[in-house]
Amino acid sequence: MRFKTLIVAAAACLLASVAGAVAGENIQVGPRPYYLIENMDDGPLKESLRMCEERPLRRTAFSIGHRGAPMQFPEHTKESYEAAARMGAGVLECDVAFTKDRQLVCRHSQCDLATTTNILAIPELAAKCSKPFTPAKVDPATGEVLEPATAMCCTSDLTVDEFKRLKGKMDAFNPAAATPEEFMGGTPAWRTELYTATGTVMTHKESIALFKKLGVKMTPELKTPSVAMPFDGDYTQEKYARQMLDEYRQAGVDPSMVFAQSFRLADILYWLKNDPDFGAQAVFLDEDGLKGFNQDKPETWAPTPAELAADGVKIVAPPLWVLVTVEDGRIVPSAYAKAAKAAGLKIITWSLERSGLLADGGGWYYQSVKDVVRKPGDMFTLVDVLAQQVGVIGIFSDWPGTVTYYANCKGL
């Protein structure tokens, strides 16, 4: 009987592997999820995750590549997106900004080129920056930085052809820099420079073509402009919002494959009214009320989940810490998470593995649970609460393999 069971199990694994091959998948999450599992406290969750260690993995829309896989690869680059897809992310993100000639490109911020690309190493392009490089003022006696080095280079400073000359780098800068070369350093120790030899920047249209090839869904974020709108006289916010969705329609992408995002509620409402096919899956990145915001005090929320639902919003996406709190030493859903669920909203959250060690509290993304996260393995404890108790439908991660592993193991 045991031999027969083993044969059936082997056949099931073979069929799963063949199915993956047919779908063009060879999902590889790397050693990190296994490292996190071994680091967990003993208990049912650790044991259940361990039981999945030898299972074949499939792509899952529960795993969302936040700007690709920027824990190790320069964000919003072809290489970063391909790494995220290899790790099983079923949804990839292009943050959308516009160039001087009104072409859409993938950048986290309209004016982050000095910290995410090599623009300062290309003198003729650096000369076009809104604010050129200014070296730090340093106390010669103590070495204290009196005024940090600065530079501000925007996508709207360049044409799309000029933008395409850039190379993506790890998002960082050195505030004590005396030269442009020094300014482009500063990568945090928990990231790496090993994969920065190439960093192919992408237009929005190029990202659509790549994502179609990779067989993933798409979640573009319409970035809030850093320049006054209308830009250059007549490029309004509405034209910008419409252009982003038009590029999916022109590429023949079904609206069901697209989760358009914005921090501006006005953008979501515009899509709901003027492009309901895409608006139905629009994602409101709820950060409007974070000054004085408390995830357990409804009087600090603006807007409330109920108000968003009344406006027609279907999906809300707050940061990780907004959805959880601590009770009796355990991570549990926050009052905000419960209210969003009660309002009938679907929930996505961001961004796992985007900051330093959990042993140090994890930084901004984990602030509401910093007193109970103590070690790397607690990452899976948080993911489990978000998935099983909060009921999120997807998690953004800078290393999507971790979420992919969990989702496969739990059948999400």
Per-residue pLDDT, 292? 86
CB 344 within 8 A of CB 362: no
CB 76 within 8 A of CB 116: yes
Given this model, what pLDDT does residue 303 score? 93
The pLDDT of residue 360 is 86
pTM score, two decimals?
0.93
DSSP state at residue 157: G
So what's the pLDDT on residue 392? 98
Q: Shortest CA distance to 116 belongs to which of 168, 47, 191, 174? A: 168
pLDDT tens for 77-86 read 999 999 999 9
In the chain, which residues have pLDDT < 50? Answer: 1-24
Burial of 256 from C-beta contacts in 10 A (0-12 / 13-18 / 19+): exposed
Residue 100 per-residue DSSP state:
T
pLDDT at 167: 98
Question: What pLDDT score does 2 carry?
Answer: 40
Whether the upstream peptide bond of residue 303 has omega within 30° of 0, thus cis, is yes
